[in-house]
Chains A and B, each alone.
Chain A
């Protein structure tokens, strides 16, 4: 039995005539310890998919099974790293993480929790900034706090919704390594949603493209057969990498073209010409 399983998921927004089907017929299964990336265009329903898995949304039909149990609500077993960090701006870095660990381990004493906060802050190397507010941090630092917050709750699975989307290329590379590092330590199951094919190939075991919405559905999966730990600089010369990359991009370009050609509605413009005020 798969660790996380999505069965015939449909998700619609709106009612009656205004209804739009965002996701249709999504089937996915992830094994324990696996790192899966879902790649898709912006607006293809990636965030909706993530929210279905972490329990913030409920599917219109179909079911999400986590360890065989249907997902009905959010759970501490599934840690979430949001696209826009979602740190509480009135709390410091330490307080943001403390709030999470306090919820995750309600029985632990204060000092144990404080230690835990410190450990995770130092894990993302933010110890000097522990008493700073999110506003005083750079985008990359904020995302590291979000990573630390999600991991400090010791989730069995990490769900990442375009976690590095808003960062510059250099910071992005560093954080990818950091996340991979943490992941490889205790091999938690991970699901990464991204719009960057290279990021997916570098980090994941499997890449599944999401066909753009409305009616978004998952495409055929691409297995990444590159040995870990992967070397970013050597990756460019890896034949396997080139092949997989080209295959995925080709696939995405094709569905992109398809999407364009589908919408060829012609708009009829009314026949109007400027009125002449000269008598």
Chain B
């Protein structure tokens, strides 16, 4: 019975690896293989269906815009211009392509071009570092700042910046929300005193948090020309996302089972011992549920905040591509969308695994 529960727990956190694991495990049975085939088959089918619908939809949109362009040329400039327009579109010339929802193939091509671009930029960076090595050494010897590469960032750099921002924000949220949550949870007086504060600030939108942080950080950085976009964005992300952890921690700490409190009293544990040996362990599952929500909220608001803070992350990338309006901009936006989604999913799984590791209640977590 207990064994079953443990197995179930692993199955839950790593369910998406299960088909793969089942394939690797040598002693699988016929039934396993069938189940795996069925599961994988359905997954592949749903992906194919999704891509097919997407392809058809984008094609319809493409045709609609193309027809409109030709029609417009016909009414405004006559038959010859319309024919020229049609020929231009059909030739694949980039200047006259309809700019609409890109097809899956275009998105795939964009992804590859982004990766190729990353390789070019990395090579560039290496060359730059090599070229400047001697000069930089001299500069450092003279006590001056070294010259660093300031060219544009590649897509991979952008993704890494975003992940860095989200983790910095998450850490900030953890450092603020967990201690305050514990203190509020322990004292009913403080809880009611802080309640208005939490209720008012919890629903504030990410944009407003950004503006608030901007006001403060801008003044703190006054006279300093260094780039504070990263600081502003991670603080905004942290403040925005910490509320779930704060509320959950306070709730977990305040709702510890009365039996455990009685045990602590009968054993005559000191306050410190009581908090760290009884109250905190028993509220860990709720705290981690809060942290998991915080991480997903952090990743969600990150995009909007990076856009506003002009931080070199995915949010800014999406916005710049939209403003850019180049031929492959739309497909790059879709690439970014998938990357954001996949990273969000992986972060959530990561938190779930950690949550299951610390949780004594093996049945929790979905």
**Interface residues in chain A, defined as those with a beta carbon under 8 Å from any beta carbon in chain B:** 54-56, 73-76, 79-80, 82, 84, 86, 88-91, 99-100, 103-104, 133, 135-136, 153
Contacts and interface: CB of A to CB of B under 8 A. Distances in A.
A161 to B, nearest CB: 10
B362 A86 contact: no
A90 B263 CA distance: 14
A148 to B, nearest CB: 14
Interface string B239-271: 000000000000000000001101101111100
Sorted nearest first, the 4 A-B pairs with minimum C-beta distance are A90-B360, A86-B259, A90-B281, A136-B2
Interface residues of B, number: 19
Given A84-B259, A99-B267, A89 B361 contact: yes
A99 B360 contact: no
B2 A88 contact: no
A90 to B, nearest CB: 4
Contacts of B265: 55-56, 74
Contacts of B361: 89
A135 B268 contact: no
B23 interface: no
Contact of A86 (B263, B268, B273): B263
A52 to B, nearest CB: 13
Given A56-B262, A86-B263, A74 B268 contact: yes
B110 interface: no
Interface string B279-295: 00110100000000000
B131 to A, nearest CB: 58
A86 B260 CA distance: 6
A136 B262 CA distance: 23
B164 interface: no
B138 interface: no
Main secondary structure of the interface of B (DSSP, over half): helix
Interface string B328-365: 00000000000000000000000000000000111000
Instruction: Choose among A54, A88, A100 the residue with the greatest number of B CB atoms under 10 Å from its CB.
Output: A88
Contacts of B259: 82, 84, 86
A82 B262 contact: yes
A133 B262 contact: no
A103 to B, nearest CB: 5
Interface string B34-55: 0000000000000000000000
Nearest to A153: B267
16 contacts: A54-B266, A74-B265, A75-B268, A82-B263, A84-B259, A86-B259, A86-B262, A86-B263, A88-B277, A89-B360, A90-B282, A90-B284, A90-B360, A103-B269, A135-B2, A135-B360
A76 B260 CA distance: 17
Contacts of B278: 88
A74 B362 contact: no
Interface in B79-120: none
Contacts of A136: 2
B268 to A, nearest CB: 6
A74 B281 contact: no
Contacts of A135: 2, 360, 362
Contacts of B269: 103
A47 to B, nearest CB: 10
B262 A88 contact: no
Contacts of A104: 267
Nearest to B5: A135
B266 A133 contact: no
Contacts of B282: 88-90
Nearest to A83: B259
Nearest to A150: B266
A103 B267 contact: yes
A54 to B, nearest CB: 7
B266 A80 contact: yes
Nearest to A155: B266
A104 to B, nearest CB: 8
B285 to A, nearest CB: 10
B149 to A, nearest CB: 50
Contact of A99 (B2, B262, B277, B362): B277
A8 B259 CA distance: 28
